[in-house]
Structure 1
Amino acid sequence: MASGTALIYDDEMTSYKLLWDNPECDIEVPERLLSSYEQLKHYHLLERCVHVPVREGTEEEIMLVHSSEYLEVVKSTQTMNEEELRRVSGNYDAVYFHPNTYRCAKLAVGATLQLVDSVMSGKVCNGMALVRPPGHHSQRNAANGFCVFNNVAIAAQYAKRRYGLQRILIVDWDVHHGQGIQYVFEEDPSVLYYSWHRYEHQQFWPLLRESDYDAVGQGKGKGFNFNVPWNKFVPELILVSSGYDSGIGDPEVCNGIAESSLASVSTTFALKHCFDFGLQSAFDAELVKEERTLLSLQNVVAVLDKILKKKVCNGIAESSLASVSTTFALKHCFDFGLQRKILLMNICQKQQTEKTNSKYHISLNWKEDAERNNFFCAVLGFILPVAYSYQPDLMLIVIGPNRSLGVNGISLLTCLLQGLAESRILVVIQDTEINLVQSVAKALSGVPAPDFGAYAPASQENVLEIKRLRNQLQQEWKMLRCSGLEMESKTKHTVIFAMN
């Protein structure tokens, strides 16, 4: 089964630019393509993609959409001087040519067709071709709106011819209407074209009557062209007719996939296989329970993503299955490209079986004093020395059901751990422990530490637990020793604390 996402890109497609002053075209610059690629690099997405090499589109492939006469005009620009290029450019609307335009336009076509081949052959599941010049305005005999060859239209014709496809959907969300694609397929029922664009009652470029909602195709293609034109409208009142019979599990929905009223479209699409079996049956409580779990996973990853991208310093996420959410969170860290160190602290019920501690997996069985705070001993005598020895880049604190630690101990721990990892902390709280959110939020937001209650010395049982762990692990974590406070060298491990 296909997996992975293809990325097709080549710097050579930035090798043409405007050679003269033209206010209409001066926004079409190489940086438009470069900035997209740099953003993928910034968010560590490049390493997650399957890189597919670029090739040139052939003349035969280009003429699946364009005339041979137009092809010859574009080809001739390779040897033109600036004056000739300006003259040819002036024959079209909002376009400029450069000696490298033809080469780049062929690469843009070839990159798009490489993507079609990669998906159709099963090499990848989906993908993206970053190309320049763009294509959706160009027509059979004309360049238009910065576009030279109509890359997507050529791709659709190519896919029909090579793979025998009979139904292709083209979705176009550019702010300008892609009239070039519409013209190519307006009589073709095998291609459904959907364009969502700004229109302003025909006052927004390309200023065409056929960009309006009633341009639905012609002949056999009638009903296969959908334009959703935006017209400026400033409402004075917003009313929402909020029906929920599109929700998963509703017996009225029988079309295979129902979009949940509660989940995002992307989540529903990704999880559709989990729900298909229940769509035509009566309302199933188990489906609702499963959807709730999936939504909580989505929330955890969303908060973590903001922390990893440094949009926020820390955050809290509620989860119906805190332990499962943590597994997803760790995977998201690795997928994001976090190659450094994660400190995971799991505050849960007492373990029923005795597990052997290791350097990177430590279980601390702590018996809390119901009336006084005896947790200082554990924090200062064991947890912080290990944490500071490890020097994590991110901390995950997971508060599970039937926790063994009270609100004072959890608040204390959260406060004192903020000196590490630039305070990059995600706290995942089981929904049954939701009463902790306010206290944890205050600790994370820098509110002065609460009264932790009367101090109580650790019980004999707790002292022996700390001594046992220190003796067992002091060779691994040097700050557990009475002397020699050297830090551990950097690793790519995850340290897991289980406080039972």
Structure 2
Amino acid sequence: TYKIEVPERLTVSHEALVKTGLADRCIAVPVREATDADILLVHSEEYLEAVKTTPYMTLEELMEFTLQHGDVYFHPNIYHCAKLAAGATLQLVDSVMTGKVRNGMALVRPPGHHSMRSAANGFCVFNNVAIAARYAKQKYGIKRVLIVDWDVHHGQGVQYCFEDDPSVLYFSWHRYEHQKFWPQLRDSDYDSVGKEKGAGFNINVPWNKVGMKNSDYLSVFCHVLLPIAYEFSPDLVLVCAGFDSAIGDPEGEMRASPDIFAHLTHLLMNLAGGKLCAVLEGGYNLTSLHQSVCQTVQTLLGDPAPRPANLDGPCTSALESLHCVRAAHKQYWSCLKHAGITRTLFFLTELPTSDVSTKCIKLAEEEEKQKTGEVEKSAEEETWPEPPKRLAPPVSTALVLPEGVACPDGCKRFSSSEDPVIVNKLR
């Protein structure tokens, strides 16, 4: 299990950004370690102190410590790496909030969205995005943060952190399969909408089948997330950018092509005045991972998204989840107040209400399918074409050169008499 969360996840992503020329177009943000105060915004002091001891443990002690937490391998260097992952995320938030950069992506590991207040979980030690949300609210006084988790696993650590907090809207789609897929939580279903004042501010979209495609992802964005996000009107958008939801991933077994992340990113960039911070979470097929990272970064740089192709509409299972989510949240959001009835094939059909759990639907069919040996094509066998080439629009820059400075090669010199309007703007 631990062989999939490997250092190569970062190296292949960075190498792809360099090879495609995208890295040269980005501003590199210096990295720092998260401080104790940063980490304590989300985690308990007891947990932090326990993790601090791991660099000094023997191998036997590390193995024993690892067994106390779910699906996390503790290494003597993991505390240092986890502090850097959280700190890099906070550096990106600082750069975006102060206007030094318009938006950005933090390539970090270990990931964070499964980590809870007092426990590591699912490869995650510190909850990078949850810490960033609390940090941004505290340091910059922002009122509303949107967290979009497009990783294929449910980020229960983020949900539990903010489930009673109406200032943070958390959206997650995740492989669920009627509670059969990890982390196998009842709290991951569509009717977990938040608690107390936070009711309506936790949106779970369960994928109850594998093989979801671009149409399924875009449908949920357009009919669930975006209407609510615009009504919420965030001051900052944080993305738990896990690419195990892309085609070929052994964990997700989904079929969305890497260029779908260009469209998802583009749709989110219209919120919060463009203040968007994407933070790497999962992604375990090294090919679709680096392709998806490049698609995301190129869109953040402002390049037009590629033309969508092969959109054949959402599948029945995705529609079922979509309608259940809208029904569960219609009492909380004006944009969904007419979500109880839909017109399908010229018939008015009542949608399921939120007291019916999708995990009880069609289980008999799935069990029969397993008995007959009918199985989905393995994600490891998937092949897909390279994402379409995206051309960056030409950029023109004008400046006034000091006296005696020669015009650089490739630039055109013009005098104030040729275009006085431009020259006056530059002065």
Q: Give the alignment's TM-score, normalised by structure 2.
A: 0.53
Corresponding residue for residue 8 of structure 1: none
1:211 aligned residue = 188
| Structure 1 residues 35-434: aligned runs within 5 Å | 35-232=12-209, 331=394
Question: Does the CA contact (< 8 Å) of 2:34 and 2:83 recur in 1?
Answer: yes
Q: For the residues of structure 1 that align with 2:109 and 2:265, how far apart are their CA atoms?
A: 27
Q: Deviation at 1:299?
A: 9.0
1:440 paired residue number? none
> Which whole-Å deviations, capped at 9, do the CAs of 1:290-313 have from their partners, x for residues lacking one?
xxxxxxx969999xxxxxxx9699
CA distance in 1: counterparts of 2:85 and 2:114, whole angstroms: 14
Which AA in structure 1 matches 2:30?
P
**Alpha-carbon deviation of 1:109?**
0.9
Q: Distance in 2 between matches of 1:34 and 1:198?
A: 27
User: 1:123/1:139 Cα in 2 relative to 1: closer, same or farther (>3 Å)?
Assistant: same
Report the Cα distance in structure 2 between the residues aligned to 1:71 and 1:265, rounded to whole angstroms.
34
* 3-state DSSP of counterpart to 1:51: coil
User: Is the 2:194–2:201 Cα contact (8 Å) retained in structure 1?
Assistant: yes
Structure 2 CA distance for aligned equivalents of residues 225 and 208 of structure 1: 15
Q: Distance in 1 between matches of 2:182 and 2:209?
A: 14
Name the amino acid aligned to 1:132. R
Deviation sequence 1:138-168 (CA, Å, 0-9, x none): 0000000000000100000111111111110
Q: 1:330 to 1:63 in 2, by over 3 A?
A: closer
Tell me, yes or no, if the aligned pair for 2:55 and 2:79 is still in contact at 8 Å. yes
Query: 2: CA distance between counterparts of 1:76 and 1:268?
Result: 43
Secondary structure of residue in 2 paired with 1:229: strand
1:186-207 CA-partner distances (Å, limit 9, x unpaired): 0000000000111100011101
What whole-Å deviation, never above 9, does each CA across 1:268-311 have from its counterpart, x for those lacking one?
77799xxxxxxxxxxxxxxxxxxxxxxxx969999xxxxxxx96
Alignment partners' CA distance in 2, 1:130 and 1:312 = 20
Partner of 1:27: 4
Aligned residue-pair number: 255
8 Å contact from structure 2 (residues 34, 87) kept in 1:
yes
* Larger-gyration structure (1/2): 1
Paired residue for 1:352? none
Structure 2 CA distance for partners of 1:83 and 1:48, relative to 1, 3 Å? same
Letter paired with 1:91:
Q
Aligned equivalents of 2:90, 2:99: Cα separation in 1: 14
- AA partner of residue 161 (structure 2): V
**CA–CA distance in 1 between the matches of 2:45 and 2:264?**
42
1:323-361 Cα offsets, whole Å, 9 max, x none, are: xxxxx87617x99xxxxxxxxxxxxxxxxxxxxxxxxxx
Name which structure has the greater RCO, CA cutoff 8 Å, separation 6+.
2
Distance 1:84 1:224, change over 3 A: same
d(CA) in 2 for partners of 1:116 and 1:329? 26
Tell me, in whole angstroms, the C-alpha distance in 2 between the residues paired with 1:83 and 1:92.
15
Native 8 Å contact 1:214 1:227 kept in 2: yes
Query: Which AA in structure 2 matches 1:77?
Result: T
Residues 300 and 46 (structure 1), Cα distance of their counterparts in 2 relative to 1, 3 Å cut: closer
Residue type of the alignment partner of 1:72: E
What secondary structure does 2:203 align onto? strand
| CA deviation after TM superposition for structure 1 residue 84, in Å | 1.0
CA distance in 1, matches of 2:190, 2:20: 37
Pairs within 5 Å for 1:409-488: none
Seen in structure 2, the aligned counterparts of structure 1 residues 211 and 331 have a Cα distance that, compared at 3 Å, is: same
Q: CA deviation at 1:35?
A: 1.6
The Cα shift of 1:26 comes to 2.0
- The TM-score, its normalising length taken from structure 1, stands at 0.45
| Pairwise CA distance, 1:107 | 0.6
Q: Note the residue ranges of structure 2 that are not aligned, 5 or more in a row.
A: 224-229, 234-262, 272-302, 309-384, 398-408, 413-427
SS in 1 for 2:63: helix
For structure 1, which runs of at least 5 residues remain unmatched after alignment?
1-23, 247-253, 258-263, 273-296, 303-309, 318-327, 336-490, 495-500
Q: Look up the SS of the partner of 1:160 in the other structure.
A: helix
Residue pair 2:175, 2:210 contacting (<8 A) in 1 also: no
**2-side partners of 1:59 and 1:107: how far apart?**
12
Instruction: Write the distance in 2 (CA, Å) between the matches of 1:97 and 1:142.
Output: 12
In 2, Cα distance between the equivalents of 1:83 and 1:190? Answer: 43
Q: Distance in 1 between matches of 2:8 and 2:120?
A: 21
